[in-house]
Amino acid sequence: MRQPDSSLPRTGQDHTLSPYEPELGDVPSNDLSAEDLENVNKTGTTTIGITTAEGVVIATDMRASLGGRFVSNKNVQKVEQIHPTAALTLVGSVGGAQSFIRTLRAEVDLYETRRGEDISISALATLAGNFARGGPFFAINPILGGVDEEGHHVYSIDPAGGVMADDYTVTGSGLMVAHGTLEEGYEDDMTNDEAKRVAASAIKAAVERDTGSGNGVYLATITDEGVEINGHNDFDDVL
């Protein structure tokens, strides 16, 4: 007769595990050194999120670099849909950011399957912050933008897992240049089209001075009807 595992309680479940760990299991880890990371594709990046009267607009440049010294790709889509009415930018190592988005999408799907309802954007931001703090995602600093019943939201997520809501925000290596242009052009209750022009102008300003940013702009428009993402190699197409 098989003996029960005495290391587990009578329920057969191991309750020593933290209830705050991801529902899908452990966050993956790695043992890459700082020297290894010098040869990792990085997005460099300027990313912008703006709340509008109609929803949210997110803008990013299109360049990836190898160790910050060589342009390895000129057409990187740095904003991805992760929810029917939300999108997230990629900032940091390309592999780390892509892994972050895949993990977050899986958690969102699991949440909605178990509960039978859409996750709120504030809860999604908290989940993203928890992953940023506890996962192996190489100092990512993404922007989350989304629309739900509570309104239109933009969050910046720092590498330590901090989550900050704002009307507009900028992250990435070109943020100092882009921020000035964005603050000059931003107005309350802009339309999505107006916000796209302001965001594209700020990305263009960053591209002029930041070597980690370049090669065009991706624009994501988020409303209660969904997410639309388009890339433009020529800034004149949107300005």
d(CA 58, CA 199) in angstroms, rounded, equals 8
H or E element, residue 65: strand 64-66
Give 182's Cβ-side CA count (13 Å radius): 27
Catalytic residue among 11, 16, 45, 51: 45
d(CA 212, CA 184): 23
Verify whether residue 45 is a known catalytic residue: yes
- Cα separations in angstroms, 31 against 23, 56, 91, 173, 200: 23, 37, 21, 25, 38
- Token output for 99: 């892994």
120, amino acid identity: S
Give catalytic residue positions. 45
